[in-house]
Structure 1
Amino acid sequence: MPKPHQPPFTLTSRIVALVAEISERVGRWVGEGREAVSPRLRRENRIRTIQASLAIENNTLSIDQVTAILEGKRVLGTPREIQEVRNAILCYDRFSDWKATSADDFLTAHGIMMKALVDQAGAFRSSGVGIYRGDKLVHMAPPANRVEHLVRDLFRWAETTDHHPLVASSILHYEIEFIHPFADGNGRMGRLWQSLALASWHADLAYLPVESLISERQEAYYAALGEADRQADAAPFAEFMLTAIRDALDSLPATEQVTEQVTEQVTEQVRLLIRCFSGAEEVTSAELMQRLGLTHRPSFQKSYLQPALASGRIEMTNPASPRSPVQRYRLTKRTRQKRP
C-alpha cells in the first residue's frame, strides 16, 4: 500500500519548544496521578467551547444563552443561531464515539453539526469554493472532485504519522481548512477534529477552552491560516494553535489544576466527588449531584456522599443538624492541604 501524502510543513524550533512546554505540563499531571480539569470545569469549558467556536462563525448567542439551550430553556435568538447551538451540543455529546482518523466519522459529525443548516450536511461539497475576507479572495480550495480523496489521504497520514499528537493534530486542523471539504461548517469541523485528535493523546485536552482563545485572537487565527497558505507550509498555523493550547492550559484556575490524589482505600466514586469541589467552597448535595451528572439521590448518598463523609474527605457545614435543608458540604482542611 503506498504511503499517504505528507502534508507540507516544517518542524520549526518554535514548534518543538511549544510541544516541550505542553508535554511538560501534561506529564506533570500524569506523574502526580492527577487530572487537569475537574468535572465541573469540564462542563463549563464545553459550554465556552461551543459558544466560542460558533461566535467565530458569527453566531451572536452568549454563554448564558448557550447554557440555557443546553438546559432545555427557551432563549431569544434567530432560529439559525439556536439550531447551530443545538447541533454543536449534540456533536460534542457524541465526541467519544468518533475516531479522529475516520473519514466516515468525520462525515457523520458534519451531518450532525450542520443539520437543517445546509443542504449537503454530512456530505462532501459538490462544487468549487473560495474563501473571502470582505471582497478579497484569500483562498481557493481544491476542486470538488478531489475532496474525498484528499480527506481520506489526510486521515491515513494522521493514522500513520510518527509526529507528536500535538503537531499532528494542528496539521490535521490546517489541512481540513485548506481542503475545505464542505459547503459550510469547515471552521467548526476543523476545530472539533483537532480537539478529537488531542483527546486521543490525553483526554483532558478535549475540555480545554482553546476555542475561546481563538475567538479572542480571531484576526491572528486567520492570519496564521493565510501565512501557511502563502508559504505552502503549515508551520505558521501549527505555531499559532500550539501557542493557543499552551495558553489555554495556563488559563486553568490553580484550584482546578490540583485534583484528588487518592489511596487505594478511597473508591472511584469518592474520588469523583472530591474532584467536584474547588478549594474551600461550600456546596449543597443537589449541586454535587448536578456536577456529577446524577439524578438518583439514594445512590448518590450511598455510593458518594456517605463514604466521603466517613473517610473524612469532606465535612458538613452544619454537623449538628445533618438533615438541615440548608446543609452544605466542603472539603476538610486535611483534604485541601494534602489530598492524600
Structure 2
Amino acid sequence: MDFASATTTTVVSAGEVIMAALLRLPVHSFSDLTRSLADNLDLRRRRLTFLLLSPLHFALTLSHLRSLSLHEKTLLLARLLLSSLHLLLPTAASPHPHRLSLRDLDAALLLVAMCDSHDPSAPIDSWRATVSRHVLHQALSPSGLGDGPWPVLCHHVDAAAKCRRLMETMAGGGKERSEVAASVASVVALPWVDHGGASGECVVCREEMGEAGGRMVCELPCSHRLHWGCALGWLRRRHTCPCCRHELPTENVACEMGRMWRAAVRGRILCDEPLDQATWHYSLANRGQLQRYGSPELVIAQVHHRDGHVVLRGNQRTGEGVAL
C-alpha cells in the first residue's frame, strides 16, 4: 500500500501513526524505549549546550554549516530527523547506515536550533546569542521543566512528524518509489538457509531451489528464499523482495524515511487490536501543560492503555479525547 494513499498529509496523522506503534508495545518495551529516547535527547541537549558555551566550537560548527550546499544541509537535517524515527520504531529500523558523526550531529543540532530561533521580523545580531536565548526559553518552558516521559516523547514524535514533511518535500509531491539498492549491511545480514531439497524455484532465475544446495540459498526478512547469487544481483539494483515487494533498508536517506513510514502505516492497519477498541482515559488535569509540548500544530493528550503503560495521542488544534 502506498504511504501517501494510506494517510492524509496533516501533521496529526503522522503523530497518530507513531502513537499507534507505541500503543502496541508491551510495558517493559515501552520503558526501555523511553530510556533510550531520554538518553538520546540528553546527548543532543548536552552537545548543543557545549556549542553555545564554547565560542570556538560554535564558530567552527557554524563555518562548517556555511560551507555546505542547500542539498547537503537538507540531507544533514534528514539524517537527524531519521534518527528519531529509528528510535521510535526500532523493529523497522535499519542497522544505522545513516548514523551521524559527532561533527555532523553538532552541525545538524545547530541548524535545527537556528531554524527554530530565527524570527524574520527581528534582525540577527549574533547567531550564538539568538540561539542561546531560544534554548534558555525552551529550558524554562513546561516541556523543558516537566518530569517523566512526556517531554522526551513529544520531542521525538514532533521530530518524526517533521521527518515525514521533509520526506514529502524531498519527493516533490510524487508518489512513485525510487528503485535504489538495498544497504550493504542489510544484505550482509541475510542468513544462509538449508533448503532441505524441498521443491520450489527461485523467482529471479526460475531454476529449482533444491538444485542449488543449502549454502547457496538465502532468506529475506519476509521469509522468501532466493539463490544467493540471484539475491545479490537483485538487491544491487532494488531494495524490495521480488515476490512480495517487502522493503529492505537502504542507504538513500529519502527512501529510508519512506520505507520506515510505510512500515509504520502497515503496522497500524494490520494491528491485531484496533485503536478504536482500546481503552482511552483523557487526563484533563494535565491538559493545559501537555498541550504546550511538541509543535503548535500537534496537541498532545495523556492516554493510558489498558495494559498499564502510558502513551501519547495527538489531535490537531483541539484537545478532545475522542477515540482514534
Whether the TM-score (by the shorter chain) exceeds 0.5 is no
| TM-score, length of structure 1 as denominator length | 0.28
| TM-score, length of structure 2 as denominator length | 0.29
